[in-house]
Amino acid sequence: MVEMAEHGRRLNNYQRRLGLGIRGILIQTLPRPLLRRFKRLLLLPLDGVDAVFGRRKELVPPRYLSFVGGGDFEAIGDDFLRHFIDLGGLSPEDRVLDVGCGIGRLARPLTKYLVAGSYEGIDIVPQGIKWCQQNITNRYPNFRFQLADIFNRMYNARGRFQPAEYRLPFSEREFDFCYLTSVFTHMLRRDMEHYLAEVARTLRPNGRSLITFFLLNEESRGLMSAGRSSLDFKFALDGCWTDEEDMPEHAVAFDEAYIRALYRELGFTLETVRYGAWCGRAEYLSSQDIVVARKS
């Protein structure tokens, strides 16, 4: 009986480790000093090996459920994992906050990298949160998702809270890394300022944030005037610009100088700004502009 129990324990442990994927096994096996030094190695294309065990497509939702925009669901997630590591300094043991987690597009690649850390995802779309809880949390208990019951005409018309009044349900100085992608590009000035202040509140000292924007500066305005941009921010609002007067949240842009000043006011040190393709640039990193900052 003792031998059978030991055999069962070893089998369960083996199955659990397979469930982490090859990348997860490396993260749990390597000493943490090596993880920090060689974290780029964890981006090697190991998913082909994981696919042998049926892991590759498990966290991709059916297309009819996805509401996070166009593009390749997996490729976009994989690209942003590289940005989190290369630009944001994300480490496998970090505690991560994803504001606007959608239906898990960026959480999916993190499950194979963030095995030694933890993840909290929050979004206003109920069906996205439900899908993530059922399909991601059930497999990766260190990944948790919860609904932010915020009013939005398109996604949560019965929401109880206004964006500028909502407090993130986390304590101060709780996270090492926070990111928001395609969130501030759909928020008006007052709401955006409140959310960024909440990010500052929940980040630990030296914690990092990676956030995407549409930034207006001399170059992007010139490209818009020349007709090169996919968006034309010609309608001025209170401290921001939109491309659709009747539906301002469709796409929202901010002056880069104002964003830089707001970061400083909230105690951030800007580390890098990488400009995006949205305005017709010939050289770019991603679709939107990426701002990486460190909490002082």
**pLDDT at residue 34 above 90?**
no
Across the range 224-253, mean pLDDT stands at 96
For 109-163, write each residue's pLDDT tens digit: 999 999 899 999 999 999 999 999 999 999 999 999 999 999 877 777 788 899 9
List, in order, residues 6 or more apart from 155 with CB less than 8 Å away. Answer: 67, 124, 125
pLDDT band, very low/low/confident/very high, at 210 (cuts 50, 70, 90): very high
Region class of 130: left (phi > 0), else alpha (psi between -120 and 50), else beta: alpha
Distance between CA atoms of residues 289 and 27, nearest Å? 31
Q: Where are the beta strands (DSSP E) in 109-164?
A: 118-123, 143-147
Distance between CA atoms of residues 131 and 268, nearest Å? 34
Cα-Cα-Cα-Cα dihedral sign, residues 9, 10, 16, 19? negative
Round the CA-based radius of gyration of the chain to a whole number and report it.
20
Region class of 69: left (phi > 0), else alpha (psi between -120 and 50), else beta: left
pLDDT band, very low/low/confident/very high, at 274 (cuts 50, 70, 90): very high
- Looking up residue 16, the CATH number of its domain turns out to be 3.40.50.150
**pLDDT at residue 224 above 50?**
yes
Number of domains in the chain: 1
| pLDDT, position 7 | 41
Structural domain span for residue 220: 2-295
For 41-57, write each residue's pLDDT tens digit: 555 444 444 444 444 47
Instruction: Kindly give the pairing relationship between strand 235-236 and strand 241-242.
Output: antiparallel
Across the range 65-70, mean pLDDT stands at 75
Q: What is the DSSP string of 245-269?
A: SSSGGGSEEEEHHHHHHHHHHTTEE
Higher-confidence residue of 4 and 223: namely 223
